[in-house]
A and B are shown apart, each in its own frame.
Chain A
């Protein structure tokens, strides 16, 4: 089998396996293997951060552009998703939560994508690392703009107030107080589907004509131009796709809480997602998934021995970084897995011919 295809299938496999394990743990059908309440509360955020990390990796790792405002797209997605969801109820009395969630995520993706286009058009045609500074500014500006906006839904109408909270109808977004009275319609299942969707988009893009163009531009812009690649087009493609996925993740995130303020999407959040990408290995999609999941979970798991929590967190950070990025650790790990494999096959050989198919 093709090496790339196998690697992609393993990535899908890990995600699906983790989902099944989680479902079993939620149901509690195996004795002593039951998910705690606080852990259950982390499931949707984990899905969201995985999608955030994978999508940011498309910009940072695959396209080679530094983006410091990924949380900005997340917030655009979160609030357009929340408003969409409320508007669907007020305009069409739509009660079906699944359809609302889906439409909210699409709205989140579309509006975040538009924001991506608006940033990308002026910035990505320039040579040099301007994207980092502009996305950084975008993340901060969008947060401040959101503090001055008010939205209300009134039947089919959607009212927008700028520094003006006196709107008719039901207020859904209340300036600095953020989105209030949000229907918590996000589900873990949808988070899982969104991860699969993200993987499908990103992995298929990478392994296609367009994805090769994106990576070629990353490797050598001059050579890419010399063979007739439209550099701006492919940088835009990666950046906007990344923004759309972050917007969808944002919508899922926003619809998981009854109150969401713009402060949740600070610079720290952008950096956190960037840390996932760097720790998981730049350009390594599977690494992003694992890093995002582990590092979102870790503070929760470490709650029981709170004194050493930050210490252990730091140590794990360093270990993850070493494991995913250093060639030495990689070879150590592969030799360990090789030994385990040899051990397993040895045992299989002893226990009969059952291992032939593997």
Chain B
């Protein structure tokens, strides 16, 4: 492939306060994700309130905030695990009101989970094949009767699955039971499975949690590689500030369910509101 590689340093950030975290990126294209006044209440508790963002087609953006700020809840709203109390989510310009998780995935949104949710009794390869379910298809009867569609489909799934696993160099683990993988590998497998669904937006919920610094460094490279290779947008929740500041082009800070700041890593790091709410304590630890 000879597509122009987007280097991080080339990305010019313009501090314009608008819905988009990085307004100038992909400005000619429609955002993959747009939320309008998104909010949800759990029995009176406003877990997320008036959440407005737009994410460009090949943007890597971060969603940060203290524990309990509502970050995972935002992901659950975007993927339709929860139906919003107010507002809507647009994926590739289409309103997703009334859709369920399965339909949201078909619209192009895939995710990983903060608490890993693999199909742990199945092999690594089968986990990826399930991600390919809607990409490489054949029917139930072709499967039972072992018709030619079955053999072709299985072959394609096998090849594609190994291809995707090779992103993280995991081809050799294809026949290992997913539940018996080390923690870091399980997180990587979740990313591969999500990628297999051919998304236009990949949501990563604390992808570096439980990884050592070396693994985290590798993960950062791989997230950029995935974005460049697949030309998709990535939105990630992460507490590791080196990762967030290192690869995110735009950052959105959440506190008590509300957005308190949006901008480039530099702006976020120097924003007094953010430092007050969140980064202050983290900064001391880092330095």
Q: Complex formed: what's the CA distance from A237 to B110 in Å? A: 25
* Segment of B59-67, B121-129, B228-236, B237-245 engaged in the interface with chain A: B121-129
- Report if A204 contacts B (CB, 8 A): yes
Inter-chain CA distance A211–B133, complex, in Å, is 11
Interface string of A183-214 (1 = CB under 8 A from B): 00000000000000000110011001111110
Is B196 positioned at the interface, with any CB of A under 8 Å from its CB? yes
CA distance A18 to B73 in the complex (A): 56
Task: Indicate whether B120 reaches chain A with its CB closer than 8 angstroms.
Answer: yes
**A215 proximity list for chain B (CB < 8 A):** 119, 121-122
- What separation, in Å, do the CA atoms of A198 and B130 have in the docked complex? 25
Residue A118 CB within 8 A of the other chain: no
* Given A208-B150, A227-B110: A219 in contact with B102 (beta carbons within 8 A): no
Whether, in the assembled complex, B87 has its beta carbon less than 8 Å from a beta carbon of chain A, the answer is: no
Name the residue on B nearest A3 (C-beta): B175
On whether the beta carbons of B140 and A227 are closer than 8 Å, the reply is no
Q: B133 contacts A229, CB within 8 Å?
A: yes
Q: What's the nearest-Cβ distance from chain B to residue A7, in Å?
A: 14
Chain B proximity of A170: nearest CB distance (Å): 38
Q: A204-B143, A210-B140, A212-B130 are in contact. Are A227 and B197 (CB under 8 A)?
A: yes
Closest to B129 in A: A212
Q: Is B101 an interface residue (CB 8 A)?
A: yes
Instruction: Give the shortest distance, in Å, between A60 (CB) and chain B (any CB).
Output: 15
Chain A residue at smallest Cβ distance from B107: A228
Report if A224-B105 is in contact (Cβ < 8 Å); known contacts: A205-B140, A216-B119.
no
Interface size on A, residues (CB 8 A): 25
Do A228 and B133 touch across chains, with their CB atoms under 8 A apart? yes
- Distance in angstroms from A210 CB to nearest chain B CB is 5
B121 near A227: Cβ-Cβ < 8 Å: no
Please tell me if the beta carbons of B153 and A228 are within 8 angstroms of each other in the complex. no
- The answer on a CB contact under 8 Å between A228 and B106 is yes
The tally of residues in B whose CB lies under 8 Å from a CB in A reads 40
- Is there contact, CB below 8 Å, between B133 and A227? yes
Which A residues form the contact surface with B (CB < 8 A)? 200-201, 204-205, 208-213, 215-216, 219-220, 222-231, 237
Contacting residues, chain A, for B134 (C-beta < 8 A): 228
Instruction: Name B126's contact: one of A210, A212, A223, A230 (CB within 8 Å).
Output: A212
Q: Is the CB of B118 within 8 A of A223?
A: yes
Question: In the assembled complex, which residues on chain A have CB atoms less than 8 Å from the CB atom of B150?
Answer: 208
Please state if A225 and B101 are interface contacts (CB–CB under 8 Å): yes
A219 B120 Cβ-Cβ under 8 A: yes
Chain A residues, CB < 8 A from B136: 209
Question: Known contacts A209-B157, A226-B79, A228-B106: does B143 contact A216 (CB below 8 Å)?
Answer: no
B110, B113, B143, B197: the one contacting A208 at CB < 8 Å is: B143
Indicate if B187 sits at the interface (CB-CB under 8 A): no
Which among A200, A208, A224, A237 has the greatest number of chain B C-beta atoms within 10 A?
A: A208
Q: Which residue from chain A places its CB closest to the CB of B149 in the assembled complex?
A: A209
List residues of chain A with CB within 8 A of the CB of B122.
Answer: 212, 215-216, 219
User: Is B140's CB under 8 angstroms from A222's CB?
Assistant: no
Say if the beta carbon of B86 comes within 8 Å of chain A: no
